[in-house]
Structure 1
């Protein structure tokens, strides 16, 4: 886990800096990072009872109104992410619970959780993201396709709406990401493409309730495990 000084420094930077993802990086369409470490197979997704290990929100899009809002079918599933462990491992945010995988409803939630708890892709675990290119809002759970996070291309759209307002989607190929960007250029405003390594270098990534969530997971609030109320 990050020590308190590191987390406090990051929190201070979040206050004075804008969205790091919005800044031009000068890399254009970045190539995926090379493979590293052994790959752990993805684990089954607990759609009905699963909750995000970082923010506590459900990984399945709620039906009807939820916390005063109604979401389109498949809204949460399109950014589902997972950290699959080589063997059952105590959950960093709840060491009394051994888990085979951690589940997240946002790419940013997975990256930020891994950052604050010191987890790394390829070191006893493999990080996975949902391929938005294979997404079907009519069958969001049946057709979810997980790809290794290190091999995906990430798309950021300034005005794109995704859960936790993270503005990030993952694609299995750079071409698919580019085609999606072209189709949504008018609606999304500024657009950026990233590799997983670049996202990791920019962590913690902006999303709703980030300061409170990082403080919670770092133990700065006197405890962990309380659900976030963002969406």
Structure 2
């Protein structure tokens, strides 16, 4: 885990470099995906009561209005991600409880949580993402197919709207990602493809409330400091 001084230094840089990070997401070069490392099976997804371990939002799309907004059916589920642990460990906000996995409603939330807490894929944990190519918005929870994050191809669309405005989706194959990009070229503007290693290299990834969320997880802010 990074110490507070290191996180503070990074947070200071993000205040002035945040826009540059977002721009870099549109021009990054592809890097090889992580290889090797142990594999932990994914854990059951707590759709009804689960919340994101990084930002606190529901992992299931709320029915009706939520915080003043109404989201399309399945909007949250399409970017669900998970870190499954080899051995149970204390829950992030309640050390008296143990968890077998952490759940996230955004790919960026998972990467950013891992960055600030020093978690590594293949080292006592396996990272999973939802295959957007197999996803059906009419059957959002039933169609979520988890694939190892290290094997996925990631699509970035400049104008694409997903939770936390992270602009990222995951696909089981490069072909599926390219076909999705072609279908949405007019709506999404600039488009790029990334490996999981690239996302890790770029972390922390731009998304809503990033600085406050990183500060909260570093212990620099209370629970109310992150805001939404």
The change in CA–CA distance for 1:207 and 1:75 in structure 2 (over 3 A counts) is same
- What is residue 39 of structure 2 aligned with on the other side? 39
Spell out the pairing of 1:78-93 with structure 2 (5 A cutoff).
78-93=78-93
Cα deviation digits, residues 110-166 of structure 1 (max 9, x gap): 000111111110010000000000010000000100000000011111100000111
Task: Compute the TM-score of the two structures, normalised by the length of structure 2.
Answer: 0.94
- How many residues are aligned here? 225
Picking from 25, 30, 39, the partner of 2:28 is 25
Cα deviation, residue 58, structure 1: 0.4
Alignment of 1:75 onto 2:75: yes
Structure 1 runs of 4+ with >4 Å offset: 225-229
- What is residue 183 of structure 1 aligned with on the other side? 183
Cα deviation, residue 228, structure 1: 4.9
**Helix, strand or coil for the counterpart of 2:73?**
coil
Distance 1:55 1:34 in 2: 26
Unaligned runs of 5+ in 1: none
Q: Which has the higher helix share?
A: 2
Cα deviation digits, residues 8-62 of structure 1 (max 9, x gap): 12212222222525321243xx65x143211000000000000000111100000
Distance 2:28 2:140 in 1: 32
Distance 2:132 2:202 in 1: 22
CA contact (8 A) 2:212 2:225 kept: no
Unaligned runs of 5+ in 2: none
Cα deviation digits, residues 77-113 of structure 1 (max 9, x gap): 0000000001111134443321000000000000001
- What is residue 166 of structure 2 aligned with on the other side? 166
Task: Compute the TM-score of the two structures, normalised by the length of structure 1.
Answer: 0.93
